[in-house]
Chains A and B, each alone.
Chain A
Amino acid sequence: NAGVTQTPKFQVLKTGQSMTLQCAQDMNHEYMSWYRQDPGMGLRLIHYSVGAGITDQGEVPNGYNVSRSTTEDFPLRLLSAAPSQTSVYFCASTRDPAGGYTFGSGTRLTVV
């Protein structure tokens, strides 16, 4: 049971480039979320999904897009990377939000 798998683990982008951070879970969880973690700021919610075909914005959605075509996958797209998007990104999933989330190991993104 792999849990939540994020790829890549590390990425360096130039300003203006686009990329997709991949997230996949094999636990048949309906709820999935993307967070970014910055020093001294904890984790902030970017986008979330409550099931295939349903997504919504979180606290800091600007500059990011998501889609949820299957229960397993929840990719995060950066359309035009900016240095302010340098961060560690975590994907998380759960069957029941009251029960707590399972987190992936993160993607460390640097935008230069």
Chain B
Amino acid sequence: AQSVTQLGSHVSVSEGALVLLRCNYSSSVPPYLFWYVQYPNQGLQLLLKYTSAATLVKGINGFEAEFKKSETSFHLTKPSAHMSDAAEYFCAVRDPQTGANNLFFGTGTRLTVIP
């Protein structure tokens, strides 16, 4: 069974500081992994995805994530936080061997950026 755990429902960083949002997955096979961002009163927007190519994935807005099979992790990072990064971030996993729409989301991490 697929599942995703996001450690920390709220994360606060100062503007210009490193952003680190944690995601651990549970999967019996190498999964597809995604990070989505949700700004207030909006839908989700795809930040980046891992689909078994390079383990370091670069996304939009300066974010990147590294797939670590040994740690079953897919943490999201950004070297320098900007005020516009304040949003809720969701990690999601899909087992490529099961149905096309079995996409499981974590419970989300709300990022606050302090000026």
Contact = CB atoms under 8 A, between A and B. Distances in A.
Query: What bracket does the count of chain B residues touching chain A fall in?
Result: 20 to 34
A35 B108 CA distance: 15
B103 A97 contact: yes
A100 B96 CA distance: 13
B90 interface: yes
Interface residues of A, number: 26
A10 to B, nearest CB: 10
What is the interface of chain A mostly: helix, strand, loop, or mixed? strand
B46 interface: yes
Interface string A68-112: 000000000000000000000010100001111111111000000
Given A33-B101, A97-B100, A98-B32, A40 B45 contact: no
A52 to B, nearest CB: 15
Given A99-B49, A100-B46, A105-B43, A50 B106 contact: no
Nearest to A102: B46
A31 B101 contact: yes
Contacts of B51: 98-99
Interface string A35-68: 1000011111100101000001010000000000
- Max chain B C-beta neighbours (<10 A), residue from A42, A58, A101: A42
18 contacts: A31-B101, A33-B101, A42-B105, A43-B105, A44-B105, A45-B101, A45-B102, A48-B100, A48-B101, A58-B101, A97-B100, A97-B103, A98-B49, A98-B94, A100-B36, A102-B46, A103-B44, A105-B41
